[in-house]
Amino acid sequence: MNIFLKAKHWQLFIFNFAIPFVLYFVAIIITIGLAVTQQINSPEFGLRMIPFYILIGLISAAVRYLWTWAAGIQLNKRLPEELQMNSIFFKICFFYPIVYVPLIILVVLTVIYPGSEFFPFGFLLLIPFHLFAIFCSFYCYYFVARVIKTNELGQHAYISDYIAEVFMIWFFFVGIWFLQPKINKMVSATDNLPIT
């Protein structure tokens, strides 16, 4: 996982944002071009493109999630024991959305499948699970931001110290330009320490 901590900010930006953006743009242009030239005349073509769009999104999400894991776990381990945060709840919050999203997609596809009875109020039962997934994402932002700032300061960080980092992680495609150089410096500094 150190590869995500040692990667340069521009490398993470390319894999998290630039490549997926270009692939989405090209796919949309091809779809529009085929529709305008009437080489496709059925709405099913758009549906057949959905797995491609999902795959592009997964590439982007994988980079972000793996970076979050590496930053949260690996940087926390680099802290002195008295400064380390308990990572059990972070791990729960990290994995919950990963498990929740495929399950919710499966449930939604099952509910709206042709021939099944559609129960719109059944979706209301999913709201607490969805809200918890949102909470988990923000908790991961908080945890990673606090770990980064604690590493940077060398002492316990308070919310006023790392609120900017929370927003930089939330808006990852911009924040990575500021956060990753700090992380690179932390990792290279600890890697160069003599082994005792």
The tens place of each residue's pLDDT in the chain, 196 residues long, gives 688 989 999 999 999 999 999 998 988 887 777 777 766 666 666 667 778 888 888 888 999 999 999 999 999 999 999 999 999 999 999 999 999 988 887 777 776 665 556 566 667 778 899 999 999 999 999 999 999 999 999 899 999 999 999 999 999 999 999 999 999 998 887 665 443 3
Q: What is the pTM of this model?
A: 0.83
User: If you ran DSSP here, which 8-state letter would residue 116 be given?
Assistant: S
Q: Give the closest residue to 137 by CA, choosing from 170, 165, 112.
A: 170
Alpha helices in 112-171 (DSSP H): 127-153, 159-170
> Would you list the domain boundaries of the chain?
2-191
